[in-house]
C-alpha cells in the first residue's frame, strides 16, 4: 500500500503488510519497511512525462525527511541487532584498521613532513622527522582541535625553507576544509584562517610570506593570493572569471602550483570533470605585476606540465590517446614541440621529475610499470616491483636526490619507499604492521569478453587453495567512469572478506583510464551502457567458472560506482544476492541540479538536452525501478556530510525500491550523520561502518533458508 500526503507525514505500515515479513539470510526477520508517503510530481521532458513519487525527499532539512532518515536508520539497526556475525566482524576489522599508517612525506632539506596515525588513534596528526633516522615529532594533532573524533587534518604544503606548513581541518566526510598555517619554529598555529570551502590547491609563495590558493564555488574557481597576517577578505584575486576574452564558468576547475625553483606560478584549467580540454597559463613571479602567459590554450586535449632547468615538460594526449611527454615551447603549437617520451601501447598514467630525471608510470594491462628517462628522453632504467600491484608516481622536487613512492595491492598493504635517484636504491620509509600474511593469498588477472566482444581485464583474489565449486561467496566491485583507473589497491574491508574465505573480484570496466582516452570514451555519454554490460559479463564469467553462484554473489560500489550498483539492481537483479550501493548517483534526470553535479555533465550529459535525456532515461536507476520485480537485498549507504553527491539519491531510491520490490529481501538505508564522500571520519567510526557493510553482504550471501 502506498500512502499519499494527507494530514501528516508520518511513516506508516499497513496492517495487511504486517503479514508479509521480510526475510534476511542467517535467520534475520523484519517487518515490512516503513512506507514513505507518495506525493507525485510530474516533469515534462520534451513531451515525455516522468513521475517522481518521492520528490519531497530531496529536501534534507524538512521535518518529514528527517523523520524518514531516523525511521530508516532504526529499521537498519533492527537488522544489525539480529546479525550474529557483526561482533566478530568488528573484532577482525579492529586488527586490520587500528594500525599505524603514514602518508608519503614532503622533504624540505633534511626534514620530512607527513601525516601519521598511531594504532589506537582515530585520526592522523601532522609530523616532522628531523633527519632520515631522527625521531618523529607531532606538530598538529586534531584531538587538540576538537573533541569530535570525526575532525581530521590534512597536510597541504610546506614552505621552501620548512619553517611553515599549511594544513586543512575537515569535519566528517565533507569536501570543504578550513585553511590554517602552522609555524614550525614557534610550534604555534598562526592567526590566519581561511573559511570552509572546497580548495583545489594550496601553495606557499616562494618567500613563504603568503599562500596561493584556488577555491571553487557555484560560479566557478578562483585563484587568490593570501598574505600571512592579513584578513582573508583582503586576499588578492589573481585569476578567474575570464581570460583572453573567454568566460570561465562553473565547469572550469583551476589547480595552481609553484615551480620548484620559485620562478613561475602555474595554473592548470580543467574544462569539466573529467577534463576533455586542459589549458595551462603561467606567471613570472620574479617580475612583480606581470600577468599570465600561455603555455597551451584552446586545444581540445589534456596537458600537465613540470618546469625544470629552464624547460617545460608536458604530458599530453594531444593526437596520442595513450599519452606522450613533450618538451614544450610557449608561443608555438604542440606539433612543433620536441618529443621526449613517445606514445606506446601502454597508457601513461602519470609522470614526475625528481633528481633531474623523468619518471613515467605506465599501465601494462592495469599494472604499474615505472620507466626512468634523462631530460632528453634517453632510457635510464626502471623501478622494479614485486608481483601484481600499483605504485604511486615518484614524489619529490625536481632537484631533490631522493623521491618517495608507495606500492600496494589487494593482498599487499601499502609500503612507502625512499628512492635514491642516483643509485636507484630503495629504502623503506614506513610500513604498517598489519596481521595479514600476503603469502597465504593469490592475486591473478583474467580476461573475458563483454557483450559486444570487447576484451575486459579483471583481478581476482582469494586464499590459496580456495575452491571453485560455485558454493563460495564472492564480492565484486567496479567503477567505470571519469577516466579513473581502478588499480590493485589495499582495502582492509576487502582483505577481511578474502581472509574469511570469500573471493574478491574487480573488473576494469570501460569508462576508466586503464587503456587511454579511447577506453574512457567507450563508457561515457550515450555509451554508458557499455560499462554496465562489462560488469554483467564479469559476473557471468565468474559464475560460469564456478567462483560463485548468484545466491552467493555480493557487489559493492560508491559514487559513480554507486550508479553502477543502481544499474545492476534494476537491469540484472537475477545475477546478485546482495548489493551495497554507496554515496550513489541514481536519479540521472536531476543529478546536475545538486551539489557538484553540474561538473559531471561533461561525463554523463544532461536531461536538459533532448538527445542526452533519451539515453539517461533509459538507464537512470531511479526511473527504472519496476513494481513487482524481485530485487536482491540492498543497502543504500550515504551520509549527511556528503557535499559532493547529494544524499537525496539514496533517500529517494530507498523509498522507491522498498515500495516496489517483491522479493521479500531486506532493502535498507544506512544514513551516517558524519560520513561523506571524502575521507575524514575517525577510525572507530569507519570500523563500525565497514562492519555494517560487511555484515550485511556476508549475511545476505549465505545459503538461503526455506520459508513457509
Nearest alpha-carbon partner for 472 in 633, 631, 698, 706 = 698
For residue 263, being part of any structural domain is answered with no
Question: Is it the case that residue 14 has pLDDT exceeding 70?
Answer: no
Regarding whether 409 and 465 lie in a shared domain, the answer is no
Angle among Cα 459, 465, 466 to the nearest 5 degrees reads 65
| Backbone φ, ψ for residue 199 (5° rounding) | -100, 120
504 bridge partner residues: 461, 475
Regarding whether 676 and 633 lie in a shared domain, the answer is yes
Regarding whether 419 and 464 lie in a shared domain, the answer is no
Question: Is it the case that residue 553 has pLDDT exceeding 90?
Answer: yes
Regarding whether 572 and 424 lie in a shared domain, the answer is no
**Which residues lie closer than 8 Å to 571 by C-beta, 6 or more apart?**
532, 536, 619, 624
pLDDT in tens, 130-157: 999 999 999 999 999 999 998 999 999 9
For residue 58, being part of any structural domain is answered with yes
Nearest alpha-carbon partner for 214 in 206, 229, 203 = 203
Contact of 504 with 490, CB cutoff 8 Å: no
Exposed / middle / buried, residue 149 (Cβ in 10 Å: 0-12, 13-18, 19+): middle
Percentage of the chain beyond pLDDT 70 is 96
Q: How far apart are CA 672 and CA 477, in angstroms?
A: 21
265 bridge partner residues: 258, 283
Q: How far apart are CA 341 and CA 348, in angstroms?
A: 10
Residue whose entry in the numeric block shows the C-alpha cell 602518508: 103
DSSP collapsed to 3 states, 672-687: ECCCCCCCCCCHHHHH
Residue 6 confidence class, pLDDT cut points 50, 70, 90:
very low
For residue 620, being part of any structural domain is answered with yes
Residue 677 confidence class, pLDDT cut points 50, 70, 90:
low
Q: How far apart are CA 633 and CA 658, in angstroms?
A: 10
Query: What pLDDT sits at residue 173?
Result: 74
**Which residues lie closer than 8 Å to 87 by C-beta, 6 or more apart?**
none
Residue 400 confidence class, pLDDT cut points 50, 70, 90:
very high
Within 13 Å of residue 621, how many CA atoms lie on the same side as its CB? 28
Cα–chain center distance at 348: 20
Query: What does each C-alpha distance from 225 to 242, 270, 557 come to in angstroms?
Result: 17, 20, 39
pLDDT in tens, 334-393: 999 999 999 999 999 999 999 999 999 999 999 999 999 999 999 999 999 988 999 999
Query: What pLDDT sits at residue 3?
Result: 32
Contact of 628 with 611, CB cutoff 8 Å: no
Tell me which DSSP letter residue 440 carries: G
- Please compute the mean of the pLDDT values over residues 36-45 and round it to a whole number: 97
Give alpha helix (H) positions in 167-233.
none
Q: What's the whole-model pTM score? A: 0.93
Query: What pLDDT sits at residue 541?
Result: 98
For residue 686, being part of any structural domain is answered with yes
Q: Indicate the residue among 417, 433, 449 that finishes a domain.
A: 433
Contact of 43 with 101, CB cutoff 8 Å: no
For residue 318, being part of any structural domain is answered with no
Query: What pLDDT sits at residue 674?
Result: 62
Contact of 340 with 348, CB cutoff 8 Å: no
- Please compute the mean of the pLDDT values over residues 258-278 and round it to a whole number: 94
Q: How many domains does the chain have?
A: 2
Grid coordinates given for 64 = 518529514
Contact of 194 with 232, CB cutoff 8 Å: yes
Query: What pLDDT sits at residue 329?
Result: 97
Residues in the chain: 708
For residue 253, being part of any structural domain is answered with no
Grid coordinates given for 137 = 615529532
Regarding whether 511 and 426 lie in a shared domain, the answer is no
Query: What pLDDT sits at residue 708?
Result: 40
| Backbone φ, ψ for residue 178 (5° rounding) | -105, 135
Catalytic residue positions? 559, 677
Residue whose entry in the numeric block shows the C-alpha cell 598493504: 413
Angle among Cα 380, 386, 391 to the nearest 5 degrees reads 65
pLDDT in tens, 628-676: 999 999 999 998 877 788 999 999 999 999 999 999 999 999 998 765 5
Query: What pLDDT sits at residue 664?
Result: 97
For residue 157, being part of any structural domain is answered with no
For residue 610, being part of any structural domain is answered with yes
Percentage of the chain beyond pLDDT 90 is 88
Cα–chain center distance at 621: 21
Regarding whether 444 and 428 lie in a shared domain, the answer is no
Query: What pLDDT sits at residue 17?
Result: 47
Regarding whether 454 and 354 lie in a shared domain, the answer is no
Query: What pLDDT sits at residue 220?
Result: 86
Regarding whether 565 and 485 lie in a shared domain, the answer is yes
Q: How far apart are CA 452 and CA 533, in angstroms?
A: 9
Question: Is it the case that residue 15 has pLDDT exceeding 50?
Answer: no
pLDDT in tens, 554-609: 999 999 999 999 999 999 999 999 999 999 999 999 999 988 889 899 999 999 99
Average pLDDT score over the chain: 94
554 bridge partner residues: 475, 578
Q: Indicate the residue among 383, 403, 433 that finishes a domain.
A: 433
Regarding whether 497 and 429 lie in a shared domain, the answer is no
Regarding whether 488 and 374 lie in a shared domain, the answer is no
Q: How far apart are CA 59 and CA 65, in angstroms?
A: 7
Angle among Cα 354, 355, 359 to the nearest 5 degrees reads 40
Contact of 252 with 270, CB cutoff 8 Å: yes
Tell me which DSSP letter residue 289 carries: T
What CATH number is associated with residue 635?
3.40.50.1820
Residue 474 confidence class, pLDDT cut points 50, 70, 90:
very high
DSSP string, 201-214: EEEE-TTSSEEEEE
- Please compute the mean of the pLDDT values over residues 489-511 and round it to a whole number: 98
Question: Is it the case that residue 197 has pLDDT exceeding 90?
Answer: yes
Query: What pLDDT sits at residue 11?
Result: 41
Tell me which DSSP letter residue 131 carries: S
Regarding whether 72 and 41 lie in a shared domain, the answer is yes
Q: How far apart are CA 511 and CA 450, in angstroms?
A: 14
Nearest alpha-carbon partner for 169 in 196, 138, 136, 200 = 196
Regarding whether 492 and 351 lie in a shared domain, the answer is no
Question: Is it the case that residue 245 has pLDDT exceeding 90?
Answer: no
The parent domain of residue 501 ranges over 17-94+437-699
Contact of 647 with 613, CB cutoff 8 Å: no
Query: What pLDDT sits at residue 344?
Result: 96
Q: Indicate the residue among 433, 449, 467 that finishes a domain.
A: 433
Query: What does each C-alpha distance from 657 to 68, 548, 651 come to in angstroms?
Result: 15, 26, 10
Residue whose entry in the numeric block shows the C-alpha cell 500526503: 5
Query: What does each C-alpha distance from 563 to 7, 169, 266, 697 come to in angstroms?
Result: 35, 30, 35, 18
Nearest alpha-carbon partner for 672 in 198, 80, 172, 197 = 172
Query: What pLDDT sits at residue 676?
Result: 57
Amino acid at each position: 500500500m502506498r500512502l499519499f500526503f494527507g494530514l501528516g507525514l508520518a511513516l506508516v505500515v499497513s496492517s495487511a503488510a504486517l503479514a508479509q515479513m521480510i526475510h534476511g539470510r542467517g535467520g534475520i526477520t523484519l517487518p515490512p519497511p516503513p512506507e514513505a508517503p507518495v506525493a507525485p510530481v510530474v516533469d515534462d521532458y520534451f513531451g515525455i512525462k516522468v513521475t517522481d513519487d518521492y520528490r519531497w525527499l530531496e529536501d534534507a532539512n524538512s521535518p518529514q525527511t528527517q523523520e524518514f532518515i531516523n525511521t530508516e536508520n532504526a529499521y537498519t539497526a533492527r537488522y544489525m541487532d539480529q546479525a550474529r556475525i557483526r561482533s566478530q566482524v568488528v573484532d577482525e576489522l579492529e586488527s586490520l584498521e587500528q594500525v599505524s599508517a603514514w602518508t608519503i612525506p614532503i622533504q624540505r632539506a633534511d626534514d620530512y613532513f607527513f601525516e601519521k596515525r598511531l594504532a589506537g588513534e582515530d585520526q592522523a596528526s601532522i609530523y616532522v622527522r628531523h633527519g632520515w633516522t631522527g625521531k618523529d615529532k607531532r606538530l598538529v594533532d586534531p584531538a587538540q582541535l576538537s573533541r569530535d573524533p570525526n575532525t581530521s587534518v590534512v597536510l597541504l604544503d610546506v614552505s621552501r625553507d620548512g619553517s611553515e606548513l599549511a594544513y586543512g581541518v575537515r569535519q566528517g566526510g565533507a569536501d570543504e576544509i578550513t585553511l590554517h598555517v602552522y609555524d614550525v619554529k614557534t610550534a604555534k598555529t598562526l592567526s590566519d584562517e581561511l573559511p570552509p570551502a572546497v580548495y583545489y590547491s594550496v601553495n606557499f609563495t616562494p618567500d613563504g610570506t603568503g599562500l596561493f590558493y584556488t577555491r571553487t564555488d557555484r560560479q566557478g574557481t578562483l585563484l587568490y593570493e593570501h598574505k600571512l597576517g592579513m584578513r582573508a577578505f583582503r586576499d588578492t584575486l589573481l585569476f578567474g572569471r575570464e581570460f583572453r576574452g573567454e568566460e570561465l564558468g562553473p565547469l572550469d576547475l583551476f589547480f595552481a602550483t609553484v615551480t620548484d625553483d620559485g620562478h613561475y606560478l602555474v595554473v592548470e584549467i580543467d574544462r569539466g570533470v573529467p577534463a576533455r580540454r586542459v589549458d595551462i597559463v603561467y606567471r613570472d613571479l620574479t617580475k612583480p605585476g606581470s600577468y599570465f602567459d600561455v603555455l597551451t590554450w584552446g586545444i581540445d586535449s589534456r596537458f600537465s606540465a613540470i618546469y625544470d632547468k629552464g624547460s617545460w615538460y608536458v604530458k599530453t594526449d594531444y593526437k596520442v590517446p595513450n599519452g606522450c611527454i613533450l618538451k614544450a615551447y610557449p608561443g608555438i603549437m604542440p606539433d612543433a614541440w620536441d618529443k621526449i617520451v613517445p606514445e606506446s601501447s601502454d597508457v601513461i598514467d602519470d609522470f614526475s621529475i625528481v633528481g633531474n630525471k623523468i619518471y613515467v608510470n605506465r599501465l601494462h594491462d592495469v599494472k604499474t610499470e615505472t620507466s626512468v628517462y634523462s631530460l632528453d628522453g634517453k632510457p635510464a632504467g626502471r623501478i622494479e616491483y614485486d608481483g601484481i600491484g600499483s605504485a604511486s608516481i615518484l614524489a619529490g622536487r625536481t632537484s631533490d636526490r631522493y623521491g618517495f613512492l608507495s606500492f600496494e595491492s589487494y593482498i599487499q598493504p601499502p609500503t612507502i619507499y625512499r628512492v635514491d635517484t642516483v643509485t636507484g636504491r630503495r629504502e623503506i620509509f614506513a610500513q604498517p604492521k598489519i596481521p595479514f600474511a600476503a603469502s597465504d593469498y593469490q592475486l591473478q588477472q583474467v580476461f573475458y569478453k563483454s557483450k559486444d566482444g570487447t576484451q575486459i581485464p579483471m583481478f581476482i583474489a582469494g586464499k590459496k587453495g580456495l575452491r571453485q565449486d560455485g558454493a563460495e561467496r564472492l564480492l565484486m566491485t567496479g567503477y567505470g567512469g571519469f577516466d579513473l583507473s581502478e588499480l590493485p589497491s589495499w582495502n582492509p574491508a576487502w582483505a577481511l572478506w578474502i581472509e574469511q574465505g570469500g573471493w574478491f573480484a574487480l573488473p576494469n570496466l570501460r569508462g576508466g583510464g586503464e587503456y587511454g582516452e579511447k577506453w574512457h570514451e567507450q563508457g561515457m555519454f550515450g555509451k554508458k551502457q557499455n560499462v554496465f554490460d562489462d560488469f554483467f559479463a564479469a559476473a557471468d564469467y565468474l559464475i560460469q567458472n564456478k567462483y560463485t553462484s548468484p545466491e552467493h554473489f555480493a557487489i559493492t560500489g560508491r559514487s559513480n560506482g554507486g550508479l553502477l550498483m543502481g544499474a545492476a539492481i534494476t537491469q540484472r537483479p537475477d545475477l546478485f544476492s546482495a548489493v551495497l550501493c554507496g554515496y550513489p548517483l541514481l536519479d540521472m534526470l536531476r543529478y546536475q541540479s545538486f551539489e557538484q553535479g553540474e561538473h559531471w555533465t561533461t561525463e554523463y550529459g544532461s536531461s536538459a538536452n533532448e538527445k542526452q535525456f533519451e539515453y539517461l532515461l533509459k538507464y537512470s536507476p531511479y526511473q527504472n525501478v519496476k513494481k513487482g520485480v524481485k530485487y536482491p537485498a540492498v543497502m543504500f549507504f550515504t551520509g549527511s556530510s556528503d557535499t559532493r553527491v547529494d544524499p537525496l539519491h539514496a533517500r529517494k531510491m530507498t523509498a522507491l525500491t522498498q515500495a516496489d520490490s517483491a522479493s521479500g529481501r531486506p532493502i535498507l538505508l544506512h544514513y551516517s550523520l558524519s560520513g561523506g564522500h571524502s575521507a575524514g571520519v575517525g577510525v572507530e567510526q569507519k570500523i563500525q561502518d565497514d562492519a555494517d557493510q560487511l555484515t550485511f553482504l556476508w549475511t545476505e550471501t549465505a545459503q538461503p533458508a526455506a520459508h513457509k
